[in-house]
Amino acid sequence: MPSEIELGLVVTPRLFLYDEPGAPSAVRGVGPQTDEVFSGWAVRFLETGPEAWVRIQTHYGYEGWVRREALRPLKKEELLDRQDGVRFPLVSDACTDLHADPTVKGDLLAVLPRGSIAERLPAPDRDGWIRLRAADGTEGWAQPEALKPRLDDDLFLLEGEGDRSWFRRHGQSKISRAEEAPLRAAVVQSALSRLGAPYRWGGKAADGIDCSGLAFMSWMENGFLIWRDASILPDYPLNAIDRSQMKEGDLIFFPGHVAVYIGGGKYVHATAYRKTPRVTVNSLRPEDPDYREDLAESIEAVGSLFIS
């Protein structure tokens, strides 16, 4: 088990990770970001760098440099408590607002982006509103329709001891208990719910997301952690399969790019393509108007969590 000083919690609404500490672009908070995490996500501290930079490892095994002030220390006991996905739900709308009073006219105290984890407080509901506490301690009223129970977990930070092969063992155990058809449909729905979101390198947010961020979030929201980049790694529960076996929710890999297959020869992806720099649907079938020949003819692999 990690010691108390090794764990932290993101307290800013969002936080970008960088390959190197202190780069001018990183200091400004713009590019070349490699990943994005959100309020309420837990991390492990790996290394202290210059000028209050720290290198962290996320609950899904990704590593990068962040500013120390965006995190607060997290005790092991608190992280264990936070594994209750009903008490600590996930923001599933583009964002949710925390208000001082249970009304849309109440003073706006905080805005939590999609993917954030907040604590549901035991206060009685008021007119259908619920009381939430954000990771930075802000408390306010929110509409429960913007939330869903968290289905993934932070057990890697508690059990994995930094060994990313833990994800394959843990993921395969969860997959063996899952109902395949409903899970595939839910992953597709998560991906399609981001249609129109602009492309942002390293992003995972509703207002900016990249290709592997879309694939990752679509599976994470449904309880499964995959590698965050556009590749298949043996440490994670994703297996290369023949294209003929591809079903909804499987991932299609192109050179430096990944998409979520949605069935009927279609896929959804976050693309930087000049004509459609956003989350969009394209086809693998030449007869379709949304066919992209450049991608259809450059498929490198198909990955599935269900087929080994």
Domain boundaries, the chain: 4-81, 90-148, 163-304
- Model pLDDT, residue 1: 38
Query: In this model, does residue 27 exceed pLDDT 70?
Result: no
Rounded to whole angstroms, the Cα distance separating 76 from 65 reads 22
What value does the mean pLDDT take over residues 243-247?
96
Structure confidence at residue 79 as a pLDDT band (50, 70, 90): very high
Three-point CA angle 183, 185, 187, nearest 5°: 70
Q: Are 34 and 18 in contact (CB under 8 A)?
A: yes
Is it true that 4-81 and 163-304 share their CATH fold? no
Report the pLDDT value the prediction gives residue 28, as an integer from 0 to 100. Answer: 56
| Residue 24 CB contacts under 8 Å (≥ 6 apart), including other chains | none
Q: pLDDT of 134-162, one tens digit each?
A: 999 999 999 999 999 999 999 999 999 99
- Give the pLDDT confidence score for residue 5 in this predicted structure: 57
- The overall average pLDDT reported for the chain is 94
What is residue 139's three-state secondary structure?
strand
Provide the phi-psi class of 226: left if phi over 0, else alpha when psi is between -120 and 50, else beta: beta
Amino acid (1-letter code) at residue 292: R
| CATH no. of 4-81 | 2.30.30.40
Q: In angstroms, rounded to a whole number, what is the distance separating the alpha carbons of residues 154 and 10? A: 13
Q: Check: pTM over 0.75? Answer yes or no.
A: yes
Q: What's the pLDDT band for 29 if we cut at 50, 70, 90? A: low
pLDDT at 51: 85
Q: What is the third-level CATH fold of 163-304? A: endopeptidase fold (from Nostoc punctiforme) (3.90.1720)
CATH superfamily of 90-148: SH3 Domains (2.30.30.40)
